[in-house]
Amino acid sequence: MRGVRAALFLALLGVAAGLGESQDPNVALAPPSVAHRKLFQGRGQPPVPDDVVIPPANCTRPTQFSFMVSLRNDAGEHTCGGALINEGGNSPESRWVVTTAHCVDELAKPGALLLPDVDISGRRRDQAIERIPTEQTFLHPKWKSDRTRGNDIALLKLSNTSCYKFPLNIAEKNFTVPGNESVSFVAFGREGADAGFADQQQAGMFNIIPRKTCKQDYVQEGTKLKKSMICSRGNVNVAVCAGDEGSPIFWSPPKTTPEGRDPFAKRLVGIASFTDVDDCQSPDGTAFFTSISSFNKWIKKTIKKNS
């Protein structure tokens, strides 16, 4: 993540949404990164030993971002983000994670694991409340090991259900963010081009840019905006950096509305795919997210077929 650390985090996080297109068969493989920015830093929590797995009966109450996950390599290090998603019917439990395909494809990202361990619900990057192995990974059937060609999405089926409640609902097909509202972004990526990964969850706001405007004013030469991509720019000091890949942008209705008080009202709008600049601290960078609504049908079909 990029920019100067702001001191607002939880007070500012509360909005997000997406677009639409899906395909057919699943490429079932045995299962799972872009540029970054420094955001509002989350509050800490009591230290929890690495690799701890708390049984469901002892699972603490959900945190604001308990759907956020961190994918781990063989050394147990953070590589990418992801989001725990609802399996359907507003179920409070889930064993499915959505992330970007390049995060679990070694052809696209050297060192990526097809079956990574998944850390869940830790506000601190290396102090997860749960660590669950991935049982199976499903890459989108039209993924070509190149994030700029689109279809950069994968589903991870965990070996068991997470004890955390209220995973994110995925955006419906053709879902759009109401009005000109921003979307929320949370991740563990780098705090700058040459910095290390953030120790705590970082969060901030992104503005979704209309496709026509994005093509005319923001897409740089050599980048082609696919229908299943969301074009966006972060608010002040907010960007996408290395380690943010796969991390979610989501929309939340205003808390002053009945819907805003519904724990299932948040909608997963997209997952971080890539930026069009090498330096994530550059003010000229545009972030591209994989649109969840574009793959709503594929996500539901894959989960139903393999649950």
User: How do residues 37-74 score in pLDDT, each as one tens digit?
Assistant: 333 333 233 333 333 333 444 455 556 788 888 898 88
Share of the chain above pLDDT 70, in %: 62
Highest-confidence segment of 17-21, 189-193, 239-243, 303-307: 303-307
Does 87 map to a domain?
yes
DSSP state of 302: H
With a cut of 70, say whether residue 234 has pLDDT above it. Answer: yes
Q: Which of 177-181, 197-201, 295-299 has the lowest mean pLDDT?
A: 197-201
* pTM more than 0.95: no
Whether 277 contacts 285, CB under 8 Å: yes
Share of the chain above pLDDT 90, in %: 28
Select from 227, 274, 266 the least CA-distant residue to 249: 266
DSSP state of 9: G
Mean pLDDT of the region 260-271: 81
Does 217 map to a domain?
no
pLDDT higher for 97 or 275? 97
Distance in angstroms (rounded) separating the CA atoms of residues 302 and 88: 12
Total of domains in the chain: 1
At residue 128, the pLDDT reads 63
Mean pLDDT of the region 198-212: 79
Cα Rg for the chain, rounded, in angstroms?
17
Whether 158 contacts 132, CB under 8 Å: yes
Distance in angstroms (rounded) separating the CA atoms of residues 133 and 69: 12
Does 9 map to a domain?
no
Does 63 map to a domain?
yes
pLDDT tens-digit readout, 132-186? 999 999 999 999 999 889 999 999 999 998 877 678 999 999 898 876 678 988 8
Provide the token pair at 140: 């989108």
The SS3 assignment for 228 reads coil
Distance in angstroms (rounded) separating the CA atoms of residues 47 and 201: 14
Does 85 map to a domain?
yes
**If pLDDT is split at 50, 70 and 90, which confidence band does 90 have?**
low
Whether 124 contacts 110, CB under 8 Å: no
Does 10 map to a domain?
no
C-alpha torsion angle, residues 138, 142, 148, 150 (rounded to 10): -90
User: How many CB atoms within 10 Å of residue 88?
Assistant: 15
DSSP state of 211: H
Nearby residues of 8 by Cβ (< 8 Å), 6 or more positions away: 40
At residue 286, the pLDDT reads 84
Let me know how long the chain is: 307
CATH number of domain containing 302: 2.40.10.10
Domain extent for 152 = 22-32+47-167+296-306
With a cut of 60, say whether residue 22 has pLDDT above it. Answer: no
Does 6 map to a domain?
no
Does 89 map to a domain?
yes
